[in-house]
Amino acid sequence: MRALLRLGLWFGALTVLHAQGLVVQDTFQFPVNPTFHGGGTDVWGYVDSTGTRYCLMGTLEGVAVVDVTNLQFVQLVQGPTLNDNWYHRDIETYGHYAYVAQENTGYREGVMILDLSTLPDSVRYVGSYISPDGTVKSHNLYIDTATGYMYVVRDLSGLEIVSLQNPEQPQHVGFMPFSAIHDVYARNDTVLVAEEGTGYFSMWDLSDKLNPVLRFREMVPETGFGNHIVHTIGMGDGIPVVFVGNEDMFDPSPLKFYQLYPGDSVALAATFWGGNAIAHNVFTRGSLLYVAFYTYGASVIDYSNPGQPVELAHYDTYPPNDENGIGGAWGIYAFSDSTVCVGNTDDILYVFRFQPVPVEEQHPRIHRVPILLGQPPHLQLVGLTPGRFQSVVLLDAAGRIRHIWPLRNQTEVRLTWPTSLPGGIYRLVLRNNQKGTWTVLWYGGAH
């Protein structure tokens, strides 16, 4: 009886999510490795002087440039293709230049420099930056646009600091050795480092590039052993929060939200699960966090309250499953006009519009029914479009399916809560019958 009372309190605290969505504008398919079935990696955006938006995506053969304002393919800039099955390419811009970190070797190896000022006609390959010690492979990079410095993750072993004072001739400034490093984020000389298999992320003051000052180092749960990797790092826009994602291949773990406090103290504020999938890359714009969740697809999360992140939209770019593994959404970028680009591992660029869903497409409404002690709790779901949804699915905190209510042609349905389930955090989602995507109705838990 006490367990039923806790469930009753939980339903009283449910939060109905806003009816917004990621609406597909177009997709662009590029050549894939015929044996590996991959090639697509990171994406980034660029806006020219006329306001035309371009998406740059790492592909099997180099970097694809797509005009996402007019939905037109522009050019494929050839790059190195040897010695890396995943074709890692990480892209960022500084002014009208793009810089491409890559782990492949061969033709144009090193950090490629692309001049975007010649768009819309074409992109000019300027050259490639190679470290003074001859290192050409880099896992990814981040550019502190406020200070003009590029931070390059050198083959997972250290962080190279490069000046972009002359954008076409980058200059080596310094090197920060790490026993392991996977990702970096930089803003106004504050640098965050995801320290891969060590189990830590750290924050540094790089005001003096030759004398980095450690501000703090924080241990991340579920990491530091086996195949657990602190992979993804990012920071909020005007909101003191750090986002950390683990690339844990055999033991799924959620995306983590760390609140920053004065005096360089930090505390875990919340977690968010994207099914069983890996939060591979994140991008922030305002109070919205855009996440490439591998097999779960792309998500838009409101983190204005870091302790209660809310998923506003989701699109499954990998229909086969939402399981833990590599596949689906690799990288994500959001423009200020709500255009969103997602690079998929199967070398497909998705172009979305993040916008409110039209009235006829809005989520069905949830009617809460009074819960009486000794009776199974239930919800009334109304406003369903006949034939649109396949089922209502209940997922636990680990993303496991705990119950399925099949749907046929109902316009409303009564959902009786399985009494065998313990209190905890669950998600109720709709399985879309046409596109095979998930729509989150609410997200909550027992206390």
**Calpha distance 341→398 (Å, rounded):** 27
pLDDT at 140: 94
Averaged pLDDT, 235-250: 90
Q: Would the pLDDT of 244 be above 70?
A: yes
pLDDT at 375: 46
For residue 108, which amino acid is it?
R
pLDDT band (50, 70, 90) for residue 417: confident
**Calpha distance 250→431 (Å, rounded):** 26
Contacts of 437 (CB under 8 A, 6+ apart): 297, 314, 315, 316, 431
Domain with CATH 2.130.10.10 in the chain: 20-356
Domain with CATH 2.60.40 in the chain: 2-14+364-445
Q: Is 124 exposed, middle or buried (0-12, 13-18, 19+ CB in 10 A)?
A: middle
pLDDT at 362: 44
Instruction: Choose among 56, 57, 53: nearest CA to 344.
Output: 57
Does the domain at 20-356 match CATH 1.20.1250.20? Answer given as: no
Q: Would the pLDDT of 133 be above 60?
A: yes
Averaged pLDDT, 378-393: 71
Structure-block tokens of residue 136: 């050409």
pLDDT band (50, 70, 90) for residue 18: very low
**Calpha distance 230→364 (Å, rounded):** 38
CATH, domain 2-14+364-445, list 2.40.160, 2.60.40, 3.30.160, 1.10.287: 2.60.40
pLDDT at 320: 83
The residue to which tokens 């930089």 are assigned: 186
| Phi, psi of 336, deg, nearest 5 | -70, -20
Instruction: Choose among 147, 235, 259: nearest CA to 184.
Output: 235
Averaged pLDDT, 76-94: 94
| Phi, psi of 360, deg, nearest 5 | -70, -10
pLDDT band (50, 70, 90) for residue 442: very low
User: Which of residues 429 and 165 earns the better pLDDT score?
Assistant: 165
Q: Please tell me the least confidently modeled range out of 174-178, 205-209, 220-224, 407-411.
A: 220-224
Averaged pLDDT, 343-355: 93
Q: What is the pTM of this model?
A: 0.78
Q: Would the pLDDT of 115 be above 80?
A: yes
For residue 346, which amino acid is it?
D
Averaged pLDDT, 183-208: 95
Cα 285 off chain centre by: 12
Q: 259 pairs with which residues across the strands?
A: 241, 267
Q: Would the pLDDT of 247 be above 80?
A: yes
Percent over 90 (pLDDT), the chain: 57
